[in-house]
Amino acid sequence: MKRKITLKHIARELGVSISTVSKALKNSEEIGSDTKEKVQAFAKLYNYKPNNIAISLKNKRTKNIGVIIPDIVHHFFTTVFRGIEKYANAKGYNVIVCVSDESFDKEVINMELLANGSIDGFIMALSSGTQLKNDYNHLKEVTEQGIPLVLFDRVAEDIKCDKVIINDKKGAYNAVNKFIKDGRKKIALITSEDYISVSRERAAGYKEALLDNGIAYDEDLVLKFPSMEINEKLIEDFFERETVDAVLSVNEIFAIHSMRYVQSKGLKIPKDISFIGFTDGLLSKYASPGLTAIAQHGEEMGEIAAEILIDKIENDMEEETYVTRVLEPTLIERGSTVN
Amino acid sequence: MKRKITLKHIARELGVSISTVSKALKNSEEIGSDTKEKVQAFAKLYNYKPNNIAISLKNKRTKNIGVIIPDIVHHFFTTVFRGIEKYANAKGYNVIVCVSDESFDKEVINMELLANGSIDGFIMALSSGTQLKNDYNHLKEVTEQGIPLVLFDRVAEDIKCDKVIINDKKGAYNAVNKFIKDGRKKIALITSEDYISVSRERAAGYKEALLDNGIAYDEDLVLKFPSMEINEKLIEDFFERETVDAVLSVNEIFAIHSMRYVQSKGLKIPKDISFIGFTDGLLSKYASPGLTAIAQHGEEMGEIAAEILIDKIENDMEEETYVTRVLEPTLIERGSTVN
DNA sequence: AAAAACAACTAAAACGTTTTCGTAAATTAT
DNA sequence: ATAATTTACGAAAACGTTTTAGTTGTTTTT
């Protein structure tokens, strides 16, 4: 087993001091050219690579960024992650991922763990547990220590930090407008409880679009799931109870299940009923018919978040100015709506 | 901004030495109980948390594990990742992810970067670039440095390390057997080029099952994609050319596209033609009809990989004994096959 | 009362770097 | 020949820990 070689080894072997080796490898002007050559040749021969940990300790910079997301097996989050990873890597940063599993406690634990020197900054989407509890002290503590934080997608108003979100409200608004333009009259919304920030925004857009078009908001046409978990029974009950000609869903899963159910009841999509779902993921693309979707541009979101974060890390001017970047959603039309 | 407090600060503030503080916080017997109390109270008050980087440098242990996967926006890999993360986190480890993007070069770069002290061990699936190039020197170098490595799913015979795979051959074998049991005669295989280890194995299982059942292997019934990228044209050509009554696909995407194409041609699934696809992901579950799938148990695979790795990290006996854990695939029957 | 034992603490090295400040020898200037 | 400058290098501190090996001063033993 070849152990990793250090500056000290090189110094001892070549009969020079550690400082000389360090400087020689950095091509410092201070060192004579023959010594430099000797050291560099030796280092190359033994494949010397500086120890990241030692460097981190020295500069108090780890070149790691911490990403905390509620779930990794989730198309949107992985898409964002890809954007983060892409940008970060290009800038020489590595990414440490922790999964909060939608739990407040795990989010706190992971964050505290990473905050003790392991990372230079955080990018995260709040867990539903955290949004439900509405407790952001762990975030406050981190930012108070001067660790930059960028929130994406699932954010909270009262946290002072940079944010990257999409205009969820507008996405919903546009979707409902499209339904109305297509002549739909009874437009349902399938969503989760309001404590999820994005669901709240989407619900607001849905409502506003209805009202702006002179359609009354009818609470009976809104199906609210208590969590992000699917519950077939609620879907069946809803469609047995209500007769609608368009459905806006805050996620793909709810939409796909609903489509299947109404299809099993003999309804034709999009003739009898149209569907639009948030998050343009694999399911939307491969459903039959394809699900018209509101794309959230996850990769771009990730890149922007990483860009903002790394900028903060590398130029940490003390001024506390925070930006919120709002991305515009895009409607991807597929077979589940008429065109 | 509250800066992070260190042992030195506490020591200075309390008029004791750094060693005393360190020991007091570890409840050492060496320290008097009043001093201990004083130190602990102070540490608690100022929320002292030891610096991970300093500890890493000291014990030459980072409590980080490096995961390198070809793609993060990929259901199977994220499932494995979830298993890794779950187990690692429970053992107090963090996970640094790098995405090789199916590229040999990126794999090498990421690996070298992490190997310089950032991690205690690697878990990875080979990029297709690496499998194509068949060059594993970067892996060899890492293991020679005594860094444990566990390969999963995409492995290579001649790398000496621990491995976790599923029995891909058997998965394909069982699928083809099921087709034959259902009376299918012309069974197609949709796959990628053989340099991807899992595709090779699956193709072997396909062939073996045919031969064992007295059916000749017909190369014309095998559609090989040059990469993992989908190419609609190849699918169309294939199904125009060949008439088959069953299709085994090495992944979901190929299967779903094929299903859609034959459906558009008026064929009924599973009456006229059956489908089975590898990787039981979201698409299989939500396709119509649902795609019968060979489940790869990703999460379990991840957990096992992490378990093996962490065991190696924590008890690094010098003996070079490597295990290969082979998980059994499971056939998840859905509407794309008769039952 | 001297020796031994013990309690409670500290100094210093170590992990692997980087960087500041010295310093000796060699060179140049006077 | 002496002073000033430059060249080429090394010592040591620093980052924040942990740990070994002292070092006090007090208590126990004989």
Q: Do residue B172 and residue B289 come from a single domain? A: yes
Q: Does A256 touch chain B (CB under 8 A)?
A: yes
Chain A nearest-CA distance from B325, in A, is: 24
Are residues B277 and B182 part of one domain? yes
Task: Kindly state whether residues A134 and A174 are assigned to the same domain.
Answer: no
Percent of chain A at pLDDT > 90 equals: 91
- The per-residue pLDDT for B287 is 87
**CATH for A214:** 3.40.50.2300
Signed CA dihedral, B302, B306, B307, B309: sign only = positive
| Domain identity same for A304 and A292 | no
Class of residue B3 by CB neighbours under 10 A (exposed 0-12, middle 13-18, buried 19+): exposed
SS3 B192: strand
Residue A212: other Cβ atoms inside 10 A: 12
pLDDT at B228 over 80: no
Interstrand relation of B246-249 and B187-192 (parallel, antiparallel or unpaired):
parallel
Q: In terms of CA atoms, which chain B residue is nearest residue A82?
A: B72
B174 and B291 share one domain: yes
Residue B88: closest C-alpha in chain A? A98
Distance from CA of B296 to the nearest CA of A (A): 15
Same domain? A176 vs A102: no
In a domain, A334, yes or no: no
Residue B3 confidence class, pLDDT cut points 50, 70, 90: confident
Contacts of A32 (CB under 8 A, 6+ apart): none
> What is the average pLDDT score of chain B?
95
Q: Which of B321, B323, B246 is nearest to B277 (CA)?
A: B246
What is the structure's pLDDT at A197?
87
- Tell me, yes or no, whether A339 lies in a domain: no
Amino acid at B94: N
Residue A331, in any domain of the structure: no
Closest CA to A143 of A312, A302, A2: A312
Residues B35 and B81 in one domain: no
Residue of B1, B5, B8, B53 to mutate for A, most A C-beta atoms under 10 A: B53
| Cis amide leading into B270 (omega within 30) | yes
CA–C1' gap, B33 and D27, in angstroms: 18
Q: Is strand C in 7 Å reach of the CB of A113?
A: no
DSSP-derived letter for residue B4 is P
- Asked if A53 and B98 come within 8 Å (Cβ–Cβ), the reply is no
Cα distance between residue B85 and residue A38, in whole Å: 44
Q: Which residues of the protein are close to the nucleic strand D, CB under 7 angstroms? A: A 15-20, 30-36, 54, 57-58, 60; B 4, 6-8, 18-19, 22-23, 25-26, 30, 48-51, 54-55, 57-59
Domain range enclosing B30:
7-50
Distance CA A102, CA B82 (A): 13
What single letter denotes the amino acid at residue B206? Answer: Y
Give every CB contact of residue B253 below 8 A, 6+ residues apart in sequence: B230, B283
Q: What's residue A274's pLDDT?
A: 97
Give the β-pairing of A292-295 and A330-332.
antiparallel
Asked if the structure places residue A155 within a domain, the reply is yes
Question: Residues A8-49: pLDDT tens digits?
Answer: 999 999 999 999 999 999 999 999 999 999 999 999 999 999
Q: How far apart are CA B74 and CA B133, in angstroms?
A: 23
Tell me which residue of A267, A239, A266, A241 sits closest to A254, measured CA to CA.
A239
With respect to residue B334, please indicate whether it lies within any of the assigned structural domains.
Answer: no
On whether both B153 and B41 belong to a single domain, the answer is no
Number of Cβ within a 10 Å radius of residue A134: 10
Q: What's the pTM?
A: 0.93
| Model confidence pLDDT, tens digit, residues A100-154 | 999 999 999 999 999 999 999 999 999 999 999 999 999 999 999 999 999 999 9
CA torsion sign for A76, A82, A83, A85 is positive
Using the Cβ of A211 and the Cβ atoms of chain B, whether some distance falls under 8 Å is answered with no
* Rg of chain A (C-alpha set): 26
Look at residue A227 in the predicted model and tell me its pLDDT.
Answer: 78
- Spanning CA of B54 to C1' of D27, the rounded length in angstroms is 39
What is the rounded distance in angstroms from the CA atom of residue B191 to the CA atom of residue A332?
A: 30
Residues B318, B322, B324, CA angle at the centre, nearest 5°? 160
Q: Domain for residue A176, yes or no?
A: yes
Report pLDDT for B318.
66
Return the residue of B nearest to A263 by Cα. Answer: B288
Burial class of residue B116 (count of CB atoms within 10 Å of its CB; 0-12, 13-18, 19+): middle
Q: How far is the CA of B9 from the C1' of C22 (A)?
A: 30
Selecting from B82, B94, B318 the residue whose C-beta is nearest the C-beta of A118 gives B94
CB A39, CB A10: distance < 8 Å: yes
Length of chain A: 339
First to last CA, chain A: 66
Is A335 part of a structural domain of the chain? no
What is the separation, in whole angstroms, between the first and last Cα of chain B?
66
- Here the tokens at position A237 are 């009950």
Phi-psi category of residue A86: left, alpha or beta, with phi > 0 → left and psi -120 to 50 → alpha: alpha
Same domain? A22 vs A103: no
Domain shared by B210 and B143, yes or no: no
- Cβ contact B29:B76 at 8 Å: no
What single letter denotes the amino acid at residue A47?
Answer: N
Q: Are residues B193 and B203 in the same domain?
A: yes
**Interface contact flag, B50 A116, Cβ < 8 Å:** yes
Residue A230 has a pLDDT of 85
Beta bridge partners of B138: none
pLDDT for A1 beyond 80: no
Residues B206, B266 within the same domain: yes
Residue A251 domain-assigned (yes or no)? yes
Q: Quickly give B24 CA vs C7 C1' distance in Å.
A: 15
Instruction: Place B197 in a pLDDT band, splitting at 50, 70 and 90.
Output: confident
Number of domains in chain B: 3
- Strand C at less than 7 A from CB of A117: no
Nearest to B278 by CA among B228, B338, B213: B228
Q: Answer yes or no: is pLDDT of B306 > 80.
A: yes
